[in-house]
Chains A and B, each alone.
Chain A
Amino acid sequence: MNKENVFEQLEHIVGKDFVSNREEDLYIYSQDPGASLPRHVDFVVMPENVEEVQKIVKLANQEKVPVIPMGGGLTLSGLIIPVKGGIVMDMKRMNSIIEINALSKYALIEAGVTTGQLLSFLNENYPNLQPPVPDAPPSATIAGNVLIHGSGYLSQKYGNHGAMINGLEVVLPNGDICKMGSCAVSKYWFARGPIPDLIGLFISSFGTMGIVTKLSVQLFDKPKFREVVFGLLNDPNDIPNILLKITETGLAEDVLIGMQDKPDWMKGYVFIIAYVTGESQEEIDSHIKIFKRIYRKAKARYMKTAERIRKVYLEKPIFAAAAADYRKGGGFEYVGANMPLENLPEAYKKGAEISKRYGIVPTLGSRLIGGTHNIVMFFSYSFNRADPKDMENAREALHETNKLALELGGIPWKAELSGQQLILKKMDPNYKKLFNTIRSILDPNHIMNPGNWEVK
């Protein structure tokens, strides 16, 4: 790579203000808020439209320089920190909400639209519709989130966010612009099929298959009333039963479980947090009654909560960052593993053991994704960024947790480099081969976020 030439070309493509190789910018983009060590970045670039993205990708191919697409950069697992240097492509200037289709219920947006932006836009203009958003801070992009099999408070009812993609516009590694989903055939971005479904190639592949510039995501009706019903279990072994009982009702919008040793009053319990929705307060009240009954039968206690706590739970995005601040050290990362229900009790017990072994207060949680079809389990580790040993400790705990998840039949989600390697080690060799073949055809120069999902 001729660095000077690349820089000049990038300036030519996006304009001087939107490309940087300044030390301070590279320093910031060489790290994320998780526990990964910093890695070298050569350039940061912020394209404004698909043509600019296309030109950058073509340049990268010509100069054989890596390109790493970045949304909010909030996965915590270093997925937007280059492994082999190169260009970090910050998508935030592509932030148009192009269309809200209130009949087919989708939002057509550019890749830089943040979850906060779409949420707020809908609240103001389409108060009856809600987007799929994670509990992540609002600067996470919708694209970044759906492209990693994200999940949120609609997931128990409707599945993971990757499944809510109707269509994509992608700049492929060779610079071609490709439309996928119904938009490949129709002017409406209303559905994913019925044509061969290649959208999956772009999900959880961490930017290795191309750069998504536009996407259509499904929107959902917003219930008029929403309430949170708390329950307490004493024994993690009872988790599968209560989750089955809850999902059998078909009434829960979102179900979370939590087990943590701090604050002290939470120690020794498994918390069940179920969200019920309804058209009226009477409906909500009757749902709460049903849940109280289920809790009782499933050895759980219904827990009445203070108004303040109830409010915090009903306004989830605010709640999310607080968990990252437990240690007041600015560092937080979690293993989010997708787990089969049968091994969840074991995951809780062994997860707590790992935390204790590493001197970290056990903070475990999970969320149902599409009933009990899949459960995403969080093993959270906050650490002190100012203490390199503490960060190293967190990295080791994360690695051991990834191993545990795989042992229990689960799969680490949005895994960092070492986690990806653990997954690849267990992966069906022919799946690996297929993935690699497709990748090499699409990206013969290996410019797209190389180092991720690297089959060795």
Chain B
Amino acid sequence: MGGEIKITINSEQDWKDIVHRCFRCGYCKFTQNFSDFNCPSYRKFKFETYSTGGRMWLIYGIINGEIQWNSGIANVLYACSTCGNCIENCRFDKFNDFLVDFIEAARVEAVNNGFCPEKQKVLLERTENREMFNPYGEINSNNEELKSKYNLPDNAEWVYFIGCTSNYRQKNLRDATLNFLKKAKIDFTLIDEHCCCSPIIRTGQTKPVKDFMNYNLAQIKNTGAMKVITSCAGCYRTLKKDWSKFETDLGIEIFHTIELVKKLLDEEKIKFKSEYNKKVTYHDPCHLGRHMGVYEIPREVLKQIPGVELVEMKRNRENAWCCGAGGGVKIGYPEWAVEISGERLEEAKQTGASEITSVCPFCRTNLSDANQKYSMNFEIIDIIEIFDKLDYEIVD
């Protein structure tokens, strides 16, 4: 299940030794057919500085001492949603895979040099707060209430890692996932989870990550589970790709809910008894699509739901336009983040779809904010929430 994981920088390869390979040629700015600029940051701020190449050259300028850290440079580095469009379009093999890693590594340096922007700092403060352990500033939910509501055991085969966005902002998505897992008779449970650390990793505030990971892993292992399922593209990317940078063998398998849905459909275990007669489009979350290579699974699921008419937006899959929430942009540049989603909604409008589906609570939040701001009247819905609206049966 799932797509191919892109390479990440490892300890043998110091990013500082290769970042100057960027030629500032600018393929990374575009869609695959060059129709338009597809780097949200460059499209917005327009100065060459805000292209991926501009960032690479600034980073190299800092490394070689030609330019010193200042808040402006930090701003350029943080004004990037880590969407990965550049990774897809840069022509330099074994370099392109690292572009977002370079930006994130440079953000770590920004933090170390005292240039983490104030708004993004809040992510760390809240995550480290012993009453919160989440970037939303909510009191930590130990999930015991949910466990008893859904009658979940202490020990199970699977853990559903809810993720902070679903648990504190998109509860409907969380509940739809819980309902699905229950209905599918998955032997699962919940843990008293702390943030997966995606927001602080993406913003270069990596100091506590290992502790958080170890804590979560211990909680997971306490349940006896070997498999973790998450409904969040950000958690999925973090657990599968970032955690393994700290621990080569996590000892667990990680899945996105949509992979499980697909598997059950393939095994013909889901029998639909109602239809979902809607024209829908699908938004690729960057953290699932470009970061993890999962493009087709959600589409295949949608196509198998009776009644669904799936239409594609012009920019899709590797070419998708980012929702604008990732990489700390939602907290750092809230208005711009919504503007980026606004552009996505405009694109969705051209398809004639009435609903925008996705499989990421963070995309859902930002797309919904734009939907409201621009009075677009779309239904923004996670695929798992569609299942919640359907009558279906799981057969053994």
List residues of A whose CB falls within 8 A of some B CB.
17-18, 20, 22-25, 27-29, 31-33, 38, 44, 46, 72-74, 90, 92-93, 114-117, 119-121, 123-124, 137-139, 317-318, 321-322, 324-325, 328-332, 384-386
Contacts of A20 in B (CB 8 A): 47
Shortest Cβ gap from B9 to chain A (Å): 16
Q: Does B123 contact A (CB under 8 A)?
A: no
Instruction: Name the one of A44, A46, A137, A329 contacting B25, with C-beta atoms under 8 angstroms.
Output: A137
Closest A residue to B36 by beta carbon equals A117
Stretch at the interface among B64-72, B216-224, B340-348, B355-363: B64-72
Q: Does B60 contact A (CB under 8 A)?
A: yes
Instruction: Name the one of A23, A138, A317, A385 contacting B67, with C-beta atoms under 8 angstroms.
Output: A23
Q: Does B98 contact A (CB under 8 A)?
A: no
Contacts of B66 in A (CB 8 A): 27, 38
Contacts of A46 in B (CB 8 A): 46-47
Contacts of B58 in A (CB 8 A): 24, 27-28
Instruction: Name the one of A27, A31, A139 contacting B26, with C-beta atoms under 8 angstroms.
Output: A139
A to B CB contacts below 8 Å, 24 in the list: A17-B45, A18-B46, A20-B47, A24-B58, A24-B70, A25-B48, A28-B48, A28-B57, A33-B24, A74-B25, A115-B34, A116-B30, A120-B33, A139-B25, A321-B27, A321-B91, A321-B92, A322-B91, A325-B92, A328-B95, A330-B22, A330-B24, A332-B23, A385-B20
Please tell me if the beta carbons of B67 and A24 are within 8 angstroms of each other in the complex: yes
Contacts of B22 in A (CB 8 A): 330
One digit per residue, 1 when the CB lies within 8 angstroms of any chain A CB and 0 when it does not, for chain B 22-62 equals 11111101110111100000000111110000100110110
- Chain B interface residue bracket vs A: 35 or more
Q: Does B73 contact A (CB under 8 A)?
A: yes
Closest A residue to B31 by beta carbon equals A120
Instruction: Name the one of A18, A22, A38, A115 contacting B72, with C-beta atoms under 8 angstroms.
Output: A22
Instruction: Name the one of A23, A115, A318 contacting B91, with C-beta atoms under 8 angstroms.
Output: A318
Contacts of A385 in B (CB 8 A): 20, 60
Instruction: Name the one of B21, B45, B67, B92 contacting A27, with C-beta atoms under 8 angstroms.
Output: B67
- Inter-chain CA distance A136–B109, complex, in Å, is 34
Q: Does B76 contact A (CB under 8 A)?
A: yes
Contacts of A317 in B (CB 8 A): 34
Shortest Cβ gap from B314 to chain A (Å): 10
Please tell me if the beta carbons of B46 and A93 are within 8 angstroms of each other in the complex: yes
- Inter-chain CA distance A290–B46, complex, in Å, is 49
Please tell me if the beta carbons of B73 and A139 are within 8 angstroms of each other in the complex: no
Please tell me if the beta carbons of A92 and B46 are within 8 angstroms of each other in the complex: yes
Shortest Cβ gap from A302 to chain B (Å): 29
Closest 10 CB pairs of A and B: A116-B34, A139-B26, A120-B35, A137-B25, A138-B34, A386-B20, A321-B91, A28-B49, A33-B24, A330-B21
Shortest Cβ gap from A74 to chain B (Å): 7
Most buried by B among A90, A93, A124, A330: A330
Please tell me if the beta carbons of A386 and B64 are within 8 angstroms of each other in the complex: yes
